[in-house]
């Protein structure tokens, strides 16, 4: 099992930026697909972005394309989510998750390894 530790959340005004980090440890060979999800109160958890770390392929939800960037530092086993031009509707608890492949990356049910959440709050 891989262990994931998420950090970097906070409160910003609309238009601001935040960078989330997700550090992986343990059986990282089983976590080639690293993803970020978010869940707002009363809403289902939704996929935000994912990356397949061996090749660097990236995937994004339409709602964040052009504003969020997922990247990786393989030496540190860490994946980042740079969030720019934040909007109030981006407010949510953000979670990182991992699995072997990025098939159906946007489905939270397909992931078995999860980090703790980090809160992102965007005020208007």
pLDDT digits (tens, 9 = 90+) for 23-34: 999 877 778 999
CA pair distance 114, 76, nearest whole angstrom: 18
Both structure tokens of 102: 């990025």
> Would you state the pLDDT for residue 54?
87
pLDDT at 109 over 90: yes
CA pair distance 37, 42, nearest whole angstrom: 15
> Would you state the pLDDT for residue 30?
75
Q: Render pLDDT for 48-94 as a digit per residue (tens, 0 to 9).
A: 999 998 888 999 999 999 999 999 998 999 999 999 999 999 999 99
**Strands of 1-124, DSSP E:** 2-7, 10-13, 18-26, 33-39, 46-52, 57-60, 68-73, 78-83, 92-99, 113-114, 118-123
């Amino acid at each position: 099992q891989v262990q994931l530790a998420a950090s970097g959340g906070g409160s910003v005004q609309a238009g601001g930026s935040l960078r989330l980090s997700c550090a992986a440890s343990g059986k990282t060979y089983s976590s080639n697909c690293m993803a970020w999800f978010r869940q707002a109160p009363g809403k289902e958890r939704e996929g935000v972005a994912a990356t397949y770390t061996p090749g660097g392929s990236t995937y994004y939800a339409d709602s964040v394309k052009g504003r969020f960037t997922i990247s990786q530092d393989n030496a540190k086993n860490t994946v980042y989510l740079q969030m720019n031009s934040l909007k109030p509707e981006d407010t949510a608890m953000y979670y990182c998750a991992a699995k072997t492949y990025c098939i159906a990356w946007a489905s939270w049910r397909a992931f078995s390894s999860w980090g703790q959440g980090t809160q992102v709050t965007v005020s208007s």
